[in-house]
Amino acid sequence: MGDWPCSKTSERARDPSAAFAVGVPLLAGDAIDDLFAHAQPMSKSGPFALFRQGDWLLGIGRLSALSGIEPAARQLYRELFRATEGRHLARIWNYVPAINQAGPQGLENYRAFCVGRSHAFEQHHGAAFKLLVPAASAVGCTSSALTVVFAACQTRPRHVENPAQVPAYDYPRQYGPRSPSFARATIVPGTAGGTIFISGTAAIRGHATIAPAAIAGQLECTLENLREISTACGLGADFDAAGAASRHFKVYVRHAADQPLVAAILGERLFTAGDRVSYLHADICREPLLVEIEVTLQGVRSA
């Protein structure tokens, strides 16, 4: 991503030259995320450093979460809305410290993050905020800071759901006091081809976790979900594999020892020559989940 610090969010943990480490070590694959390779520094807005590439506004910000994830998430998202005033959110990446551990009030950190994020969305957009939440992911990190990276656009995007899954923002209360605030995918039209962001996708059908603690079964379900959302986005079941779009994949693996098996299966069933792929070591939003995959396509002619 050129000068945009997010180019270092998937750096190797042993690389001391990383400009902006978020605590998500690289296991294999591409070390630099070049989704926005020509982004240039612009300014600051509160805790967010801002960058621009064409019509895209990009930002990365972080706040200490030592006093609790929920207030940090609420404040950071309020600052995000200030930074993106007049634009549409298209994609958000969230890096949550100790994501599956209990926080000061006894609530799991991911669930506390969802409470803070949801309240911030509702305060900013009102009761209908669910219609405006973009594609997103939230994974664990080793940093003590909550970090949020965003991409915002001038063109109104279209948000898409997976028909095989309950929308995350409508999950029942068994998953926490406030549901996660994201869409399964976001499509941004463009004159030179659109951009499609697919949220972090894992082994969840309806709202239930499938094949808990079984990596092969989870991969099978995750691939089915990816085919469903790809079809819902108008790409066919294979993410426009024969098209001209550039395809970027991030694969988050809870246990580093699973990475070779995951890579072998995905290499056979998902990836094609020319794909950009990074395997990252991170905990995932539900403790039984072992793998999560996100996808970004640029230059999609049908978008």
Residue that the structure tokens 């499938």 belong to: 210
Q: Determine contact, residues 135/185, Cβ cutoff 8 Å.
A: yes
Tell me which of 11, 79, 228, 292 is the catalytic residue.
292
Q: How far apart are CA 34 and CA 51, in angstroms?
A: 14
CA pair distance 236, 229, nearest whole angstrom: 9
Contact between 290 and 284 under an 8 Å Cβ cutoff? The reply is yes
Residue pair 140/97 in contact by the 8 Å Cβ criterion:
yes
Give bridge partners of residue 303 from the DSSP assignment. none
Q: Among this protein's residues, is 292 annotated catalytic?
A: yes
Ordered alpha helix ranges (H), the chain:
69-83, 109-125, 215-232, 259-269
**Quick one: how far is CA 116 from the chain centroid?**
17
DSSP category for residue 64:
E
Q: Tell me the three state secondary structure of residue 82.
A: helix
DSSP summary character for residue 235? S
Task: State how far the Cα of 185 lies from the Cα of 295, in Å rounded to an integer.
Answer: 9
CA distance 97 to 41: 26
Residue of 25, 22, 24 lying closest to 12 (CA atoms): 25
d(CA 229, CA 182): 14
- Residue numbers annotated as active site: 292
